[in-house]
């Protein structure tokens, strides 16, 4: 049975219940008119049962649609397979993506769709990504390995508090802790001047 035929089945059952309920109401009116109150009571009970059945069917149909959406929209992320030290050396690790992801989200406003984040990260990581990173996954030819790595590390970043946990589906949001991590990284990247540079500056200022 296909998903389409299952949906049709819900519609057919609902239509059948409506048709049967219509007949029961007509019979109930006739039974009451001729004085058969026992039949009237039985038919009324069946009408109530059919109303409850329709309500249950609607709830089941709604739950089925929710499950169908969950199953068909889930994205399976394949972890890079490591077959020895040579392969591990080729893979750009998830740790390498953390700072570029944080900076990309921050530069794009702090709350960004997944596709926009990855596009920005690709630009920032262009010098780092190798040919192996750019190869498609065997299970998903439309996804390069680096995208899978970036999306995998996002889970860790959320758990570490760098990204918000309550973001809408398909949106990456940087947290206050994530912004502090960017500031800390920027401070580390500013190297203190050497003694020779300081002496040179002092001589230049004295002239």
pLDDT over 90 at 83, yes or no: no
- The domain spans of the chain are 3-73, 85-189
Q: What is the fold of 85-189?
A: Arc Repressor Mutant, subunit A (1.10.10)
Residue 14 to residues 51, 54, 65, Cα–Cα distance (Å): 10, 7, 16
> Residue 107 is encoded by which pair of tokens?
């530069």
Residue 206 has a pLDDT of 52
Rounded to an integer, the average pLDDT of 177-204 is 69
Helix (H, G, I), strand (E, B) or coil at 143: strand
pLDDT band (50, 70, 90) for residue 66: confident
Q: What is the pTM of this model?
A: 0.51
pLDDT tens for residues 2-49?
666 776 787 888 889 899 999 999 999 999 999 998 999 999 999 999
pLDDT value for 163: 95
Task: Give 100-146 pLDDT, tens digit per residue.
Answer: 999 999 999 999 999 999 999 999 999 889 998 999 988 888 999 99
pLDDT (0 to 100) of residue 76 = 73
What number of other Cβ atoms are within 10 A of residue 21's Cβ? Answer: 18
The answer for residues whose C-beta is within 8 angstroms of residue 59's C-beta and 6 or more apart is: none
Q: What percent of the chain has pLDDT over 90?
A: 53
200 pLDDT band, cuts 50/70/90, is low
Position 85 pLDDT exceeds 50: no
């Amino acid at each position: 049975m296909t998903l389409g035929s299952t949906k049709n089945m819900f519609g057919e059952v609902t239509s059948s219940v409506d048709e049967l309920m219509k007949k029961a109401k007509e019979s109930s009116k006739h039974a009451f008119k001729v004085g058969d109150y026992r039949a009237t009571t039985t038919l009324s009970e069946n009408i109530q049962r059919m109303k409850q059945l329709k309500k249950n069917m609607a709830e089941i149909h709604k739950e089925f649609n929710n499950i169908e959406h969950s199953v068909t929209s889930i994205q399976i992320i394949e972890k890079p397979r490591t077959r020895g030290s040579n392969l591990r050396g080729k893979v750009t690790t998830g740790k390498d993506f953390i700072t570029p992801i944080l900076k990309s989200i921050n530069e794009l406003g702090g709350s960004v769709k997944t596709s926009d984040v990855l596009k920005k990260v690709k630009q920032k990581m262009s010098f780092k990504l190798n040919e192996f990173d750019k190869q498609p996954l065997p299970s998903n030819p439309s996804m390069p390995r680096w995208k899978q790595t970036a999306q995998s590390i996002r889970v860790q970043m959320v758990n570490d508090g760098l990204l918000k946990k309550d973001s809408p589906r398909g949106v990456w949001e940087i947290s206050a802790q994530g912004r502090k991590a960017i500031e800390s990284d920027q401070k580390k990247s500013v190297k203190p001047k050497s003694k020779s540079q300081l002496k040179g500056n002092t001589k230049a200022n004295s002239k």
